[in-house]
């Protein structure tokens, strides 16, 4: 859960938190309204990061939960100490606009049960002033329509995703056709047993089961892959922390048809299990076949 965007939505009652949550949901976030702050850490420890389609997490937390004000400072601090990177989005609105919104609905203000509405609004504003100071983003929604606010939050959600998620590309290639200049990391796997010299495997490629089995059953390949995947598990979060937007990993063998394809596929499968987006390209998988066809046509 530490590798995706986490947004805490809070603020004044009637300021548009439900609209904001709907916008985050439209952007692919998994959203929870009125989550008790005591459950936040437990929720983030759930293995949801590999769930398909989830681009981030958004939670609405406010004074509807009794004890929220007393509990959130220590819990938020604990999250940061555990390495969670989250942002607080605070929504507010002018008193006149809040009074207007409540007069148009049948909703009750959480602090107006024993007071008048205006007193409840002012009391809430006073109680939330420290949380407002701690917020990274503050939006006054007084002059926004529902549609305008939803559009604004949707754009904010998309920017949050783009900042958080580094785009990873895996590229298999053949050294005989040149190393890819765009690669940030290049791994030469020509030390692995070569299916090219096995007559029944030579015409196949690394996407086929016989070639995959031949490459990966070798003890050297197993040991290498384990060590290399451990290295990537260590490096990728460091690149993300540094703010790198793109990471291209190139895996090369002689012709780019057998060994590099198998290893690139294995790396893709491993990274996918972490829930990260990834693009895979086998640049030279058909190069020798195409060259052979051209030679015969001459």
- The lowest-confidence range among 47-51, 136-140, 200-204, 249-253 is 47-51
Going by C-alpha positions, the residue among 44, 126, 116 that lies closest to residue 82 is: 44
Going by C-alpha positions, the residue among 84, 80, 24, 18 that lies closest to residue 55 is: 24
Percentage above 90 pLDDT, the chain: 67
| 205-247 pLDDT tens trace | 999 999 999 999 999 999 999 999 999 999 998 887 776 767 9
pLDDT of 52 higher than 90: no
Q: Over range 141-157, report the average pLDDT.
A: 92
pLDDT of 16 higher than 70: yes
pLDDT at site 296: 52
Cβ–Cβ under 8 Å, residues 37 and 68: yes
pLDDT at site 156: 87
Please tell me the distance from the alpha carbon of residue 280 to that of residue 175, in angstroms, as a whole number: 18
Cβ–Cβ under 8 Å, residues 50 and 274: yes
The pTM of this model reads 0.56
The dihedral through the CA atoms of 146, 148, 154, 156 has a sign that is negative
Cβ–Cβ under 8 Å, residues 260 and 174: yes
Please tell me the distance from the alpha carbon of residue 286 to that of residue 292, in angstroms, as a whole number: 10
- The lowest-confidence range among 90-104, 113-127, 216-230 is 113-127
| 252-294 pLDDT tens trace | 999 999 999 999 999 999 998 877 778 999 999 998 766 655 5
Q: Over range 141-149, report the average pLDDT.
A: 94
pLDDT at site 245: 67
CA atoms within 13 A on the CB side of 15: 22
CB atoms within 10 A of CB 139: 20
pLDDT of 85 higher than 90: no
Q: Which two tokens stand for residue 261?
A: 């394809």
The model's confidence at residue 162, banded by pLDDT at 50, 70 and 90, is low
- Of residues 270 and 115, more confidence is placed in 270
- For 52, list phi and psi in degrees, rounded to 5: -65, 140
pLDDT at site 275: 73
Please tell me the distance from the alpha carbon of residue 183 to that of residue 4, in angstroms, as a whole number: 24
Burial 161-185, CB ≥16 within 10 A → b, else e: beeebbebbbbbbbbebeebeebee
Domain boundaries for CATH 3.40.50.300 within the chain: 5-164
pLDDT at site 298: 47
Burial of residue 14 (CB within 10 Å: 0-12, 13-18, 19+) is buried
If you classify domain 5-164 with CATH, what class do you get?
alpha beta
Cβ–Cβ under 8 Å, residues 91 and 21: no
Q: Which two tokens stand for residue 101?
A: 């919104």
């Amino acid at each position: 859960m530490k590798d995706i965007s986490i947004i805490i939505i809070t603020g004044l009652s009637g300021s548009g938190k439900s609209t904001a949550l709907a916008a985050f949901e439209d952007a692919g976030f998994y959203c929870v309204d009125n989550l008790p702050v005591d459950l936040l850490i437990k929720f983030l420890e759930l293995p949801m990061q590999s769930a398909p389609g989830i681009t981030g997490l958004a939670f609405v937390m406010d004074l509807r939960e009794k004890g929220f004000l007393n509990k959130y400072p220590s819990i938020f601090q604990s999250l940061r100490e555990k390495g969670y990177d989250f942002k607080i989005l605070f929504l507010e609105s002018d008193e006149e606009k809040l009074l207007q919104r409540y007069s148009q609905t049948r909703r009750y203000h959480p602090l107006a049960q024993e007071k008048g509405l205006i007193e409840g609004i002012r009391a809430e504003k006073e109680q939330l002033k420290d949380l407002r100071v701690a917020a990274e983003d503050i939006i006054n929604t007084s002059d926004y329509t529902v549609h305008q606010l939803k559009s604004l939050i949707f754009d904010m959600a998309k920017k949050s995703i783009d900042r958080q998620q580094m785009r990873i590309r895996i590229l298999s290639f053949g050294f005989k056709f040149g190393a890819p200049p765009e690669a940030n990391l290049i791994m030469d796997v020509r030390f692995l047993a070569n299916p090219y010299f096995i007559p029944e495997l030579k015409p196949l490629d690394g996407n086929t089961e016989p070639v995959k089995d031949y490459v990966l059953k070798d003890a050297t390949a197993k040991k290498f892959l384990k060590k290399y995947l451990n290295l990537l598990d260590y490096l990728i979060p460091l690149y993300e922390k540094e703010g790198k937007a793109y990471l291209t990993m190139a895996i090369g063998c002689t012709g780019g048809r057998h060994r590099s394809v198998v290893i690139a596929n294995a790396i893709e499968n491993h990274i996918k299990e972490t829930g990260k987006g990834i693009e895979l390209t086998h640049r030279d998988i058909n190069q020798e076949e195409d060259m052979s066809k051209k030679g015969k046509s001459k």
